[in-house]
Amino acid sequence: MKNVVQAGLIGACSLACATTQAESSVTLYGVADAGFDFLSQVQTGTGTTASRWRAESSDWGASRFGLLGKEDLGGGLTTIFNLESGTNLMAGSAGSSGGRLFDRKAYVGLQSAQYGQFQMGRNLFIANDQWDLDPMLQEAYSSTALVRSRNVPITSNNIEYKSPSYGGFSMHAQYTLGNQSTGFNRGAATEVGRSDGVQLTYSNTFFMLRGMYDEIRDPNGQMSNVFTSSREFFAGSNIYVNALTLQVAYTHLSAPDTPAGLARTADHYWLGAQYRVTPALALNGAVYHINVGSGAGDATHDPSGHATMFAAGTEYSLSKRSLLYATVAYVRNGSTSNFSVANNNPGLNNDNLSNPLPGHSQTGGYIGINHSF
């Protein structure tokens, strides 16, 4: 009898462990990206320029590691969480200079195939959803360059909802609280103020259409800089033709609280394509153009002007997880503009001096290896 009871207990424990494993899981994942890049017309700090070669991490994709977890609650409902930190392979550093351990993502929520996904915490701002309409996939030289990273911010205190797809239509909404007692629209000194956004997507076998509206406020609760705290209208499309994807997009940015006399609007366009030559080899290329509206510039605001950037790249997959990449880009600035092929700071606030001098062109390129796990 004793042996029967022991066997029963062992069986019950085994069943419980198996059930627990089936209902809950935590996955460690990440991306390791490293290579070399070249940039011309880099300022030396004395009004002169030189070319720069360097070893660099995250040119093709952001190096990062994270934990992704879920628990099956039954009835089609799942608890989810995601903790993710950026890394720099060349320096061996993790997280941000602000001391965040999980500087990219830190959220928890509920997911349902029928009702969608609700989550709260820190996450990529909704404007990042432009990446899959960008022929250069928001690499270092991509749609991020001529808008000074306006489409790739990360925000804290998010409340977020993603709907299921209904007949090809889906919706994504995000609301970012400032969490300050000094004013509802305000944010902490190192954070944005109250911000929000919503996007609608329609997708089928032949094309994808996406429209987006979002707002980013500065810590004072204002939209005071067209490239850092502003209002955005975005529309883009992918057209799928066998191994070829054609991509076009338009963005209008406005910052109504910009100080008088400074430029407060900008229009950004791009056109490009991705082509899968073989299952392992892909080619991509794009033309980007920015027009900054009338007004002057200062240390943190770009003046009225324009720039056009050409970019081309290739990726060769060594396996499902590892690829080699190479990208080149060239930007031609108008007489008053100093846009870089990289997504540097706006205006004259160029602490890394990678923006060229106003009116100067710039050429850049990089090669490297990317591995995901």
Q: Which of 329, 309, 277 is nearest to 60 (CA)?
A: 329
pLDDT over 90 at 15, yes or no: no
Three-state DSSP state, 242: coil
pLDDT band, very low/low/confident/very high, at 20 (cuts 50, 70, 90): very low
Average pLDDT of the residues in 201-213? 98
303-318 pLDDT, tens digit per residue, is 999 999 999 999 999 9
d(CA 30, CA 314): 22
pLDDT band, very low/low/confident/very high, at 10 (cuts 50, 70, 90): very low
pLDDT band, very low/low/confident/very high, at 97 (cuts 50, 70, 90): low
Average pLDDT of the residues in 125-136? 98
Average pLDDT of the residues in 265-282? 98
Average pLDDT of the residues in 174-181? 97
Average pLDDT of the residues in 162-173? 98
Q: Which of 34, 66, 38, 9 is nearest to 340 (CA)?
A: 38
CB atoms within 10 A of CB 5: 9
pLDDT band, very low/low/confident/very high, at 96 (cuts 50, 70, 90): low
Give the pLDDT score at 122: 98
Give the pLDDT score at 11: 43
* Mean pLDDT estimate for the chain: 93
CA angle (96 as vertex; 95, 100 as ends), nearest 5: 70
pLDDT over 60 at 284, yes or no: yes
Superfamily for the 24-372 domain: Porin (2.40.160.10)
Spacing of C-alpha 107 from chain mean position: 17
21-56 pLDDT, tens digit per residue, is 448 999 999 999 999 999 999 998 888 999 999 999
pLDDT band, very low/low/confident/very high, at 13 (cuts 50, 70, 90): very low
226-263 pLDDT, tens digit per residue, is 999 999 999 999 999 999 999 999 999 999 999 999 99
